[in-house]
Amino acid sequence: MADLAVRSASKEASPTWLERVSDAFWRRPGLLLAVLLAPPLLWLGVVYLGSLFALLAHSFFSIDEFSGVIVYEFTLSTYAELFAPAHIDIIVRTVTMAICVTIAAAIIAFPIAYYAARYAKGRWKALFYLGVMLPLWSSYLVKVYSWKLILAREGILNWLFETLHLTWLLEAYLAIPLIGGNSLSVSSTGTFLVFVYVWLPFMILPIQAALERVPVTMLEASSDLGAAPAQTLRHVLLPLALPGIVAGSIFTFSLTLGDYIIPQIVGSSRRFIGQAVYAYQGTAGNIPLAAAFAVIPIIIMAIYLWLAKRKGAFDAL
């Protein structure tokens, strides 16, 4: 038992403070938990929740019209300002854009996700995975910038239409009110394209995750029971992919609602919620109105998340 003696000798020598702390952790497991949780909870609780609370508090303050100084008194007048027609217009425009972007992203994402989940194997699977992850993680601003290059009047897209002698088609499209404009880079269509491009990976990953869980035998069973491929898609695949689509739409919807940079760089002068928030807090110094505006996406997302939860979307995250 020589080595046992070694072990007990080292154990029974006067315990270091580390050892005493370790003993205390064992005697009171709650202590360890508290030590682990305290720093992140303090940080997130104070910095983040505190800030959210500050946001909420500001939305109930107002600004003095003459001096431009924030009046720290409870009022609902800032929220009442949101119902001005110009503001309602901004909210409707933003939500409409979010819906269009979500639908388009789902349509483009589905084949990619389906192919990656069902057919891609081995090296191809890795390629598809990186093919989605790299755009997801590459610089947001660079992605927006690249579209500024593409959509510019002298850029590649116009050049392409010209080369194909289709400039007339593009001009006819740009003449349509609401979605058109002077050029693609200052049209709502441009804004829409950039939104779809930038948020697309967020839609692909959850759909792929949902489809990965569909066993191949289930699709075989469907065709075995006489379903044509289109019917299998309609009656088996889409319902099973739906939670993934809903999960992805949470991202595309939420991100579109809160973005202020894309419409600022590519798009018309008509504003979105994010731009309103940014403008009011910045040059106008009207933090209360900016805060009240920021509460709108939170409310919309809360409703959306509640609906999504009922669809079981969180299992696919």
41 binds another protein (CB under 8 A): yes
- Distance CA(203)–CA(113), nearest Å, equals 9
- Interface residue with another protein, options 25, 71, 93, 214 (CB under 8 A): 25
SS3 73: coil
239 binds another protein (CB under 8 A): no
- Distance CA(246)–CA(241), nearest Å, equals 9
What does the per-residue mask of binding to another protein show for 140-159, with x meaning CB under 8 A? Answer: xxxxxxxxxxx-x-xxx--x
294 binds another protein (CB under 8 A): yes
What is the closest distance, in whole angstroms, from the C-beta atom of residue 171 to another protein in the complex? 18
- Give the DSSP letter of residue 119: I
- Distance CA(256)–CA(195), nearest Å, equals 7
Select 57 or 178, whichever has its Cβ closest to another protein: 57
Select 111 or 178, whichever has its Cβ closest to another protein: 111
Angle CA(183)–CA(277)–CA(269) in degrees, nearest 5? 20
Rounded to the nearest 5°, which phi and psi values hold at 71?
A: -95, 115
234 binds another protein (CB under 8 A): no
What is the closest distance, in whole angstroms, from the C-beta atom of residue 1 to another protein in the complex? 6
Using CB under 8 A, which of the segments 81-89, 170-178, 235-243, 290-298 binds another protein? 290-298
Site for another protein in 171-230 (CB under 8 A): 197, 200-202, 205, 209, 229
Select 141 or 307, whichever has its Cβ closest to another protein: 141
- Give the DSSP letter of residue 235: I
Select 88 or 302, whichever has its Cβ closest to another protein: 302
- Distance CA(263)–CA(274), nearest Å, equals 9
Nearest alpha-carbon partner for 262 in 136, 140, 130? 140
Select 36 or 218, whichever has its Cβ closest to another protein: 36
314 binds another protein (CB under 8 A): no
Select 21 or 303, whichever has its Cβ closest to another protein: 21
- Distance CA(294)–CA(54), nearest Å, equals 12
> What type of residue is 281?
Q
Select 35 or 178, whichever has its Cβ closest to another protein: 35
What is the closest distance, in whole angstroms, from the C-beta atom of residue 48 to another protein in the complex? 5
Share in percent of the chain as helix, strand, coil (round to 5): 75, 0, 20
Select 99 or 265, whichever has its Cβ closest to another protein: 265
What is the closest distance, in whole angstroms, from the C-beta atom of residue 175 to another protein in the complex? 23
52 binds another protein (CB under 8 A): yes
Select 77 or 146, whichever has its Cβ closest to another protein: 146
Angle CA(140)–CA(142)–CA(145) in degrees, nearest 5? 110
CA dihedral defined by 75, 81, 82, 87, rounded to 10 degrees? -160
Q: DSSP readout, 161-194?
A: HHHTT-HHHHHHHHTSTTT--SSGGGSHHHHHHH
Tokens of 5: 């003696």
51 binds another protein (CB under 8 A): yes
84 binds another protein (CB under 8 A): no
What is the closest distance, in whole angstroms, from the C-beta atom of residue 177 to another protein in the complex? 26
Angle CA(207)–CA(208)–CA(214) in degrees, nearest 5? 95
Using CB under 8 A, which of the segments 18-26, 78-86, 166-174, 176-184 binds another protein? 18-26
111 binds another protein (CB under 8 A): yes
